[in-house]
Structure 1
């Protein structure tokens, strides 16, 4: 079998882009503006030994796979193309075809080639290292792995707001900074915060929500497990003259001693805590609130409530180890099970596609600086991840939901207006 025929055996239909192999074989549409090129036998080894997104990622990061037909510094095009390709490579060939593939490839090519240094061990090996999934120690290490890369690197991708969560676009043409400011405005207004109120921001990142609320007279505590995020946020708070109102701690959300907050915001945090811990998480949130307090949960979700919640191999091994997603209905139910009453919910899926579009464009603009700061493999990894996620939000593979809830007092009435009180 030619390499093109081998690749074609895994395809559910005609590949959406041209595939060129080092043996000269070609499959896919001849007029495709993009071509995926397997540069050597190792590219095939990666694909055969780890079919799907993990093998593709390994081959690309190790330089054995490339996309031609686009500018080399355009990762949003490259990685979007890889994600489209991966979605079409999900068929398992029958036994006879697999035998032919094995004979064509040769036993020497069925061994796993060297893997990129950024790849973390599979979940079962992480368990063997003695750290229970979602224990405080393991969560701290996972967060550090993802976020303590380089604040400079993140600033080139995220822009001046240093906000690593879905923005809210007043229009599709709005700038990323306008949309991020609008997101913080939306969360602030939904929580009905007033000067003098007390806000806890769980998983505060680089302190965007903390600084937005403090600038409007709210007393805010933000917590994160990322040392680099905490240091950056503290410097920004001091530079803004908000130290008397805002504090960012390097602290696990389970260790916050204060209570009776007027509001709690959780923006991009639920993805990290694990499906089995939802009830405990939201119960703890409930305990932080005063009667009548408000809670805003902003998180990535699946489009249904029946699928496996663990992340795919690529995301788990390279981006968010131990990350898990559930459907918005599941999140909604567990918030209610924790004793909070949900009063509003909305899906911002398309807004996250726009956000990722703009992050990818930022990476393109600062590609040379990013490569110099963190190395080409890491820059390629982030482009791959963001391009795949952009595809996921565009095609409803994943969603982004905001859920607003209230902690009822003894009178069991809302401490909020009867109808929506914020502008969309």
Structure 2
């Protein structure tokens, strides 16, 4: 880009970063920014990246350019880009806002070459507006079925590449940082069942049961466990697992919306990593449904990702990248709001804890697993989608570490309004091993 109106890519970058920024940018037009000795070397490989960022000057523009290879980083692991993300985050103090005149110069320089509509990665899903235009109102049963399928019905083998043998797609609970992922996932399942305090023969409903790890673990204890999911691939995997273990008399997984479960009077309900799909506006009705399905003195264990602070405008905690590429219609609520919804549904909330650091550790293990099985992951879902998932998990690990998001377990009891002075309702203090 070298005419009267033109500006090199290096000059464009200099509008947004201080001159002493420890970052090297090498561009397709032969221009550069920053010292050759910088630890991070970003390459802008194509003019398409400029049009992406001009069309979407937010995370969507960056993600599209990265996924399509128009922006790259020397030495990056596509399965585990966490070190690069951590390094880029450290540069935040060098970022500056260009003046209105400089911004206009940049736009004019790009448009002097004509406008080119940038490509969209094949892995990107439709926008929220496009889904609504098709009649998929957020969190209607039809919309939930399609969005869950978008996220989960890719390839069970792909998920196995990074989840490992437990096929447990939620935060593990570590006794210390040296604990293996498998042991930490088993520890999480043990903790939840211990909190629920279910005995052999009692009934558990697992809402959003995934590939069945909780259902199988509960059945091994003699608990009668029903799991529901909207993913056909998950249900097939889970029921095959149940058959292999000979637990058909105790365990079952169905493709069924939680709002359609005909049974009731469960002794316990767990919702592990499910609420991210429910929608903040539906939290109250969700917990009211849990209250209806439980018997008096039954227990609810809700385990979900939360945002650290309510957004000032009341919008849910979701960004466009997650909505387009990972969790369509997903959103997050703050822990105080969630606890209020559980309480207002009629429950007694008896315990809650924040496992934020545990999810960061879990995600680091998943990224390491994805890196170790990268070739198979690409075979299962393609290079672009595998690349998206490496970015997603690494970014989430960083976000948990920075306390942008958290994860909470809430334990609640459905009271019977009679009172139990003999202590048979539940013990005076936590009864489980932490």
Q: What range describes the TM-score normalised by the shorter chain of this pair?
A: over 0.9
The equivalent position to 1:361 in structure 2, one of 365, 368, 375, is 368
Structure 2 alignment gaps of length 5 or more = 1-6
Greater displacement, 200-209 / 91-100: 91-100
Give the Cα–Cα distance (whole angstroms) in 2 for the partners of residues 129 and 83 of structure 1. 38
Check if 1:275 corresponds to 2:280.
yes
Give the Cα–Cα distance (whole angstroms) in 2 for the partners of residues 13 and 309 of structure 1. 37
Structure 2 vs 1, CA of residues 254 and 22 (structure 1 numbering), >3 Å: closer, same or farther?
same
Q: Which has the larger radius of gyration?
A: 2
Give the Cα–Cα distance (whole angstroms) in 2 for the partners of residues 322 and 2 of structure 1. 39
- 8 A Cα contact 2:78 2:390, kept in partner: no
Q: TM-score, normalised by structure 1?
A: 0.94
The equivalent position to 1:113 in structure 2, one of 108, 112, 118, is 118
State the match for 2:85 in structure 1.
Answer: 80
State the match for 2:4 in structure 1.
Answer: none
The equivalent position to 2:427 in structure 1, one of 411, 417, 423, is 417
Give the Cα–Cα distance (whole angstroms) in 2 for the partners of residues 127 and 412 of structure 1. 47
State the match for 1:336 in structure 2.
Answer: 343
Give the Cα–Cα distance (whole angstroms) in 2 for the partners of residues 140 and 86 of structure 1. 40
Structure 2 vs 1, CA of residues 224 and 107 (structure 1 numbering), >3 Å: closer, same or farther?
farther
Check if 1:374 corresponds to 2:381.
yes
- 8 A Cα contact 2:22 2:39, kept in partner: no
Superposition misfits of 4+ residues, deviation over 4 angstroms: 11-16, 85-92, 107-111
| 1:19-168 alignment, distance < 5 Å | 19-28=25-34, 30-70=36-76, 72=77, 74-77=79-82, 80=85, 84=89, 93-108=98-113, 110-168=115-173
1:94 CA drift (Å): 3.4
State the match for 1:316 in structure 2.
Answer: 323
Give the Cα–Cα distance (whole angstroms) in 2 for the partners of residues 400 and 192 of structure 1. 22
- 8 A Cα contact 1:267 1:299, kept in partner: yes
Q: TM-score, normalised by structure 2?
A: 0.92
- 8 A Cα contact 2:78 2:387, kept in partner: no
Between Structure 1 and Structure 2, how many residues are aligned?
Answer: 423
State the match for 2:230 in structure 1.
Answer: 225
1:92 CA drift (Å): 5.2
Q: What SS is found at the alignment partner of 1:75?
A: coil
Structure 1 alignment gaps of length 5 or more = none
State the match for 1:191 in structure 2.
Answer: 196
1:25 CA drift (Å): 3.2
Q: What SS is found at the alignment partner of 1:416?
A: coil
| 1:279-290 alignment, distance < 5 Å | 279-290=284-295
